[in-house]
Amino acid sequence: MAVEASSSQLSGLWQPQSRLKNLYYGPSCVQRHLLSTLPSQSSKAFVITGRSIATKTTLMQQLEALLGTHHAGTFSHIKQHGLVAELDQATDLVARDPSIDTIISVGGGSPIDAAKTISFRTNEKTGHYLIHFTIPTTLSAAECTAGGGYTKADGVKTGFMAPEMGVSAIFYDPGYAKYTPTQLWLATGVRAVDHAVETFYHPYATEMPWKALSIWALGVLFDCLPNAKLSHPNDEDVMTRLMLAAFASSGLRGKNVKGGMGLSHSLGHALGSPYGIPHGETSCLTLGDVVRLKAETEDAKQIARLLPATGGKPSGNARQDAREVGSRIVDLVVTLGLCQNLTERGVGKDQVPIIVGRATGGMKEGPVYDAVTQLVEGLY
């Protein structure tokens, strides 16, 4: 049974959910630890990645050479938001080789979620999940959850969750992350900010460890993201700190967490796959305004606790401090050069009711619907 924990900082329940057994971080951690982490000496691993990593870097050649006889194949056609046709094709390739026991995702949220979904589908066919290793190259933190999903033919993303879909080993290697374009790196960093912030008004977020780690993560993100704008991809320490902060923002949620994250995430899903907007960029669009909206509600007290992590000084007035958190998020997005609006993304104003309906679970009227409508209209 889920236990609410946000109403009192000193009352709650955290239940571990992760299948994670190993989290490696630092330069060359893939080279040093991947082979020894495989389930057995006879393990066969199938690699999932996207076209950019496969064609614009030498990472796949390096990884396949490292795996040697353990390499069972590579699928490099995963696109943004994971299209169902791609997942069908990759799942069929894995099914042809019953010796495959491990799947390795390399990239951002789309390859990572795709690998989880392939593992889920493999279980449906064979009765066992694949062991999932991941080498993240963005800060989206998809590696932190046991949920996956894909985009259906109509453009709407569907998701599902099973504990067995979770990642078994994470390799935060800046030698892989350095190939990520700076804008994508920074935008997914704002996605990690989104995770950390929306933790604080989630009704089932526990004080320890999730909120405690989220405060730490937010401080690192606000400190390192502006530095990364100037130093990426040359500063391995900054890259590694940011990857650890992304993990801290979402990696220890607990299995008793119910439901999605919060309004910014809901808007992100409503805007993301239907309109081809990456989730990092949706967070840049929505999070600051969502926080300022939440600052006028009972969530202000929790949001205000984040002000020091963003570089602000608390005034003692919860709503004022929560508003400042929202403003500082907006300022961070400006500093990172990530400002945009829905008009620039090609989303017509006639889509506002559709976006609001998706984000609010099908609402068509009422105070919440009106507030979210006003927020979305402000994104143009």
pLDDT digit string (tens) for 193-236? 999 999 999 888 888 898 999 999 999 999 999 999 999 999 99
| Apex 101 CA angle, 95 and 105, nearest 5 | 85
Judging by beta carbons within 10 Å of its beta carbon (0-12, 13-18, 19+), is residue 344 exposed, middle or buried? Answer: exposed
Q: Which token pair is 116?
A: 């989880």
**Secondary structure of residue 108 in the 3-state scheme:** coil
Residues 6+ apart with CB under 8 A from 328: 222, 307, 310, 311, 312
Q: Is 63 a residue whose pLDDT tops 60?
A: yes
The pLDDT score that the predictor gives to residue 16 is 82
Q: What is the pLDDT of residue 145?
A: 86
Closest CA to 198 of 132, 269, 149: 269
- Residue 6: the pLDDT is 44
Nearest to 218 by CA among 196, 200, 238, 236: 196
Q: What would the mean pLDDT of 100-122 be, rounded to a whole number?
A: 94
The average pLDDT across 126-137 equals: 96
Range with lowest mean pLDDT among 61-65, 124-128, 161-165: 161-165
pLDDT digits over 306-347, tens only? 999 999 999 999 999 999 999 999 999 999 999 999 999 999
What percent of the chain is modeled with pLDDT above 90? 75
3-state SS of 81-99 is CCEHHHHHHHHHHHHCCCC
Examine the pLDDT at 302 and tell me if it is beyond 90. Answer: yes
State yes or no: pLDDT of 82 exceeds 60: no
Mean pLDDT lowest for which of 126-140, 243-257, 348-362?
243-257
The pLDDT mean for the chain works out to: 91
Q: Cα-Cα-Cα-Cα dihedral of 227, 224, 289, 192, to 10°?
A: 130
Least confident segment among 78-87, 122-131, 257-266: 78-87
Question: Do residues 192 and 221 make contact, with C-beta atoms less than 8 angstroms apart?
Answer: yes
pLDDT band at residue 11 using 50, 70 and 90 as cut-offs: confident
Report which of residues 157 and 327 the model is more confident about.
327
